[in-house]
Amino acid sequence: MATKNHNLSDYDITSVPDATGMKVGIVVSEWNDNITGALLQGAVTTLMKHGVAETDINVMTVPGSFELIFGATQMAKTEVDAVIAIGCVIRGDTPHFDYICEGTTYGIARLNQVQGKPVIYGLITTNDMQQAIDRSGGKLGNKGDECAVTAIKMIDFTRHIK
């Protein structure tokens, strides 16, 4: 799983389908908003770079990462082609980190099985703030970029599956 040698913003631009006309919902957690704001910025910029209109991006916030499950569930019911769930959980002194990470991860995974629309996993789970900074526009790129590219590819997948 190491991202140490992988920059999250690096991708083959020729592998990304034209995203003109795609509609994307983004649900963003308010916890660690210095990080989630940067992830959001990366996702929006990359979506638009590939042709998604600003008016076709619907951004809603939820209080914490655990609420991404409900937020993404509701967002997926709207007129969007995919949902990006953005959050950042940083390890603390108690096992709370593990419960939030596990619950949110399983919740989002389950949504992908039952909703019929791709829900992209934009949750950063790190041991400290520096690791989160590194992955939200720092030395390891921006996971928001990766989520945007993934959303576009999964919408394209949905449109072509027979």
Question: Where on the chain is the footprint of ligand DLZ (CB under 6 A)?
Answer: 29, 31-32, 63-67, 87-90, 92, 96, 100
Residue 14 has which token pair? 């020729």
Q: Which residue is nearest to ligand DLZ (CB)?
A: 64
Smallest distance, ligand DLZ to C-beta of residue 55, A: 28
Residues 24, 30, 35, 39, Cα dihedral to 10°:
0
Distances (CA, A) of 24 to 47, 85, 93: 9, 11, 36
The residue (of 96 and 159) whose beta carbon lies closer to ligand DLZ is 96
Q: How far is the CB of 150 from ligand DLZ (least distance, A)?
A: 20
Least distance in Å: CB of 99 to ligand DLZ? 9
Alpha-carbon distance of 85 to 14, in angstroms, equals 25
Which residue lies nearer to ligand DLZ by CB, 48 or 133? Answer: 133
SS3 content of the chain, % helix, strand, coil (to 5): 50, 20, 30
Which residue, 32 or 150, has its beta carbon nearer to ligand DLZ? Answer: 32
Catalytic positions, please? 96
